[in-house]
Chains A and B, each alone.
Chain A
């Protein structure tokens, strides 16, 4: 298995340039900033609200952007050309993931800046966010591999948004609708857990649990994406 940094960079640059001109996808990815601006006007907001915007960024950028840019290559018949070039599918997906990671980090950082949230002394939370980012990108990669167009990607992203992107909001309704309690296990809520534990000065003896749950999500989606990836390499 060869991996060429030059080809990886070529894909990365192309996707960044292309995204810059892709109004539909880039405006969707900027949605979390709109929420950030709204909440910043509200004044004092609970920690949960910050986590809501962070998780929304992870889902809308990490998952949707990744899924949409992979799906579009299939829709426009450009993936075929790439696959016939010396670029390997690994290099192609790595280049795209790099674009998604950069944009996700920027959107998350900027929206937290707008809301006046500081990451100072929140190392655990940053670690949790980065771990969750792997989950959201692996999920987006898998969805990108199984969807055939940007439109399809926009439809498939809806359940992901509700379950993973907005869990921090819906969990408030869990008292009325007990089935919503499963949302407890989503990475978003686990991030909130990490933030709360970190705030109260808890150690790793308590923090390991939310990390383990996010880690399980990461492992599951990585396997799912890898299996689908292998299948696609075959045909």
Chain B
């Protein structure tokens, strides 16, 4: 679906992307993670034909991104960026109707798309009166109208409360199940962990790590067993045969409150790999 090799983008004297390479296969939900200013939006802009790269190759649907500017290709993908706009004086419905007409989809899709972002009852509301999170959901609904094969989302849930984030996450998972490939950027490691089949860590314009979240967590897992005892003590023992006897003793003496392994979060791994906080 997406193939990116040695992508570089230079703005004047500022280099936003140094050497970005990755692949996204059909059916994946690919998470592009990185702190502010790391080049996530720049990458999306290049991949969607809004900006030209300085060097390197970027192919989407097997063709160079410079060839994507035709109505036929544009019908195959959808984009929500952080600075997408809606027509404030029009209603939610009229905003979506414009896009339904532009994409040539049935008007029935408007209701379905609004339902999937939990806005089914707000059709007639003027966009100017919406909160930031609602606006973001309308934008998402707008890109779902034509059921794109490939969906680019630039921080889709950054303005949403947990309940609505969860709703959107479920919607995205369903969409992915139906075959849409999703490329999403986020700061939110839990979101990435929850949704993505692959994640790439972007730092200062370089992809520093790329793998499945599960693999990453396994690889960076600390080989430690934690034990919380009923008397309040907390112990950390190495995950080795030599610990077995000690642990068995605590259990047989009924001293144990809880036993756990130490799973790193993607955020922890990011800090370890890049030496930077993901803010």
- Across the interface, which residues of A come within 8 angstroms of B94, CB to CB? 14, 17
Fill in one digit per residue for A56-95: 1 if any B CB lies within 8 Å of its CB, else 0. Answer: 0000000000000000000011101111111110000000
Q: A148 in the interface, Cβ–Cβ < 8 Å?
A: no
The reply to whether B86 and A85 form a contact with Cβ atoms under 8 Å apart is no
Given contacts A77-B84, A84-B50, A86-B71, contact A21 B89 (CB under 8 A): yes
Q: A4 in the interface, Cβ–Cβ < 8 Å?
A: yes
The reply to whether A80 and B101 form a contact with Cβ atoms under 8 Å apart is no
The reply to whether A85 and B83 form a contact with Cβ atoms under 8 Å apart is no
Q: Give which listed residue, B48, B70, B71, B85, contacts A78 with CB less than 8 A.
A: B85
Distance between Cα atoms of A82 and B87 in the complex (Å): 11
- Across the interface, which residues of B come within 8 angstroms of A17, CB to CB? 90, 94
Fill in one digit per residue for A1-24: 1 if any B CB lies within 8 Å of its CB, else 0. Answer: 010101101110110011001100
Fill in one digit per residue for B68-84: 1 if any A CB lies within 8 Å of its CB, else 0. Answer: 00111011000101011
- Across the interface, which residues of B come within 8 angstroms of A9, CB to CB? 101
The reply to whether A18 and B75 form a contact with Cβ atoms under 8 Å apart is no
The reply to whether B84 and A80 form a contact with Cβ atoms under 8 Å apart is yes
Given contacts A10-B98, A77-B83, contact A84 B71 (CB under 8 A): no
The reply to whether A7 and B75 form a contact with Cβ atoms under 8 Å apart is no
The reply to whether B71 and A88 form a contact with Cβ atoms under 8 Å apart is yes
The reply to whether B89 and A22 form a contact with Cβ atoms under 8 Å apart is yes
| B contacts with A, residue count (CB < 8 A) | 26
The reply to whether B89 and A85 form a contact with Cβ atoms under 8 Å apart is no
Q: Give which listed residue, A2, A21, A87, contacts B90 with CB less than 8 A.
A: A21
Given contacts A6-B104, A14-B94, A22-B89, contact A86 B84 (CB under 8 A): no
Min C-beta distance of B90 to chain A, whole Å: 6
- Across the interface, which residues of B come within 8 angstroms of A82, CB to CB? 102
The reply to whether B71 and A77 form a contact with Cβ atoms under 8 Å apart is no
Q: B88 in the interface, Cβ–Cβ < 8 Å?
A: yes
Q: B61 in the interface, Cβ–Cβ < 8 Å?
A: no
The reply to whether B85 and A77 form a contact with Cβ atoms under 8 Å apart is yes
- Across the interface, which residues of A come within 8 angstroms of B50, CB to CB? 80, 83-84
Distance between Cα atoms of A17 and B101 in the complex (Å): 15
- Across the interface, which residues of B come within 8 angstroms of A80, CB to CB? 50, 81, 83-85
Given contacts A14-B90, A21-B90, A88-B71, contact A6 B101 (CB under 8 A): yes
Which chain B residues (11-50) contact chain A, with CB distance < 8 Å? 48-50
- Across the interface, which residues of A come within 8 angstroms of B79, CB to CB? 84
Which chain B residues (170-211) contact chain A, with CB distance < 8 Å? none
- Across the interface, which residues of B come within 8 angstroms of A13, CB to CB? 98, 101
The reply to whether B102 and A85 form a contact with Cβ atoms under 8 Å apart is yes
Distance between Cα atoms of A206 and B81 in the complex (Å): 58
Distance between Cα atoms of A13 and B74 in the complex (Å): 22
- Across the interface, which residues of A come within 8 angstroms of B88, CB to CB? 76
Min C-beta distance of B11 to chain A, whole Å: 13
Q: B220 in the interface, Cβ–Cβ < 8 Å?
A: no
The reply to whether B75 and A78 form a contact with Cβ atoms under 8 Å apart is no
Distance between Cα atoms of A80 and B83 in the complex (Å): 9
Interface residues of B (CB under 8 A from A): 48-50, 70-72, 74-75, 79, 81, 83-90, 94, 98-99, 101-104, 142
Interface residues of A (CB under 8 A from B): 2, 4, 6-7, 9-11, 13-14, 17-18, 21-22, 76-78, 80-88
Please name 14 pairs of A and B residues whose Cβ atoms are closer than 8 Å in the assembled complex, sorted by A. A2-B71, A10-B102, A80-B50, A80-B81, A80-B84, A80-B85, A81-B85, A81-B99, A83-B50, A84-B48, A85-B74, A86-B103, A86-B104, A88-B71
